[in-house]
Structure 1
Amino acid sequence: MRLLKNQRGFTLIEMLIVMLIITVLIAIAIPNVSKQTSAVDTKGCKAFVQMVQGQVESYRMDEKAVPTMENLVTKGYLKTNETNCPNGDVVEISTDGIVSSKKPA
């Protein structure tokens, strides 16, 4: 039977140093991730507005009228859960068919 005298493990100090390094890396990474989340939401809203604008144009060609958001949902141009931007901004269609977004009141 072999004895385990020669096996070496990590000391408590080495483990604490590794934990400290990991903590510092996490503290640096988390703020950067949260900044990128807001940028993604903003770009996602712009893309959504452009997509709705395309659906408005399709509706105008099919129905010869400027739609409301309700018309787009009712006629199947948009899904019922797609009436606002991913970041919560309200999407509006003007009377001349221009789509825009704004912060909710």
Structure 2
Amino acid sequence: MKQDWSPDEIIEHFTLLPAEIEFLGSNDPHNQLGKAVLLKWFGQESRFPEAPSELPRAVISHIAQQLNLPEEVIDQYDWSGRRIKEHRQAIREFYGFRRSSLTDQTE
């Protein structure tokens, strides 16, 4: 993903829609922001970031503002634990994706 986004591009691509805000539910601030960032990233890239360093800070800031959270809480998000796996699975389902299976490969 590109790192430099204009303000208009950020608004267009990373503004949370009402259904997305509802999907996020209520989590601890760092989990809510982490899930929101993953959601918008996946919606843009059809994949998840491989490392937090891929995330443009301006994008994190824009999403955090919409959730009334300080952007620094993203630093507390666990990028390798159980919670991110749950978030990724929920996001795939939200967008109608699923992991491919052996059956898919033979078809």
Report the TM-score, using the length of structure 2 for normalisation.
Answer: 0.29
Q: Greater strand share, 1 or 2?
A: 1
Of structures 1 and 2, the larger Rg is shown by 1
Report the TM-score, using the length of structure 1 for normalisation.
Answer: 0.29
